[in-house]
Amino acid sequence: GAVVSQHPSWVICKSGTSVKIECRSLDFQATTMFWYRQFPKQSLMLMATSNEGSKATYEQGVEKDKFLINHASLTLSTLTVTSAHPEDSSFYICSARQSEDYNEQFFGPGTRLTVL
């Protein structure tokens, strides 16, 4: 089946530093990748949608200059949290979709970010 990996699984960083999270589709080409954020006991919140080779589409309220998304290939998307602050501490999950004809999103295992 379709497998999506994320790296790292967890990261602890100091306030003001930048953190990069990688999302890879291992056995399929993902035309679209999605980045979600989930705070404790809350539902998934879509941050942005990215298509390979084009700029990401950010949801309302998500700062594109703070959350940099690069979807350089059909199997890799990266999310960089720039100048992270404690309020950015969250569970970041990526998902990938094979094509627009197939709606299912395959989720990565998530990255837990803790900003001190």
Partner 1 sequence: GQNIDQPTEMTATEGAIVQINCTYQTSGFNGLFWYQQHAGEAPTFLSYNVLDGLEEKGRFSSFLSRSKGYSYLLLKELQMKDSASYLCAVVDSNYQLIWGAGTKLIIKP
Q: Note the residues at the interface with partner 1 (CB under 8 A).
A: 34, 42-44, 46, 49, 91, 93, 100, 103-110, 112
Closest CA to 75 of 105, 108, 52: 52
> Closest separation between CB of residue 16 and partner 1, Å?
26
Residue 109 beta carbon to partner 1: minimum distance, rounded to whole angstroms: 5
Classify burial at 96, counting beta carbons within 10 Å of its beta carbon; exposed 0-12, middle 13-18, buried 19 or more.
buried
Minimum Å distance from CB 44 to partner 1? 5
| Minimum CB distance to partner 1 smaller for 30 or for 93 | 93
In which element (H, E) is residue 35 found? strand 32-38
| Residue placing its CB nearer to partner 1 in the complex, 63 or 104 | 104
Q: Strand pairing partners for 5?
A: 24
- Between 17 and 26, CB nearer to partner 1: 26
Q: Which is nearer to partner 1, 13 or 110 (CB)?
A: 110
The nearest distance, CB 1 to partner 1, in angstroms, is 9
Task: Report yes or no: 20 and 84 within 8 Å, Cβ to Cβ.
Answer: no
Is residue 81 exposed (0-12), middle (13-18) or buried (19+ Cβ within 10 Å)? Answer: buried
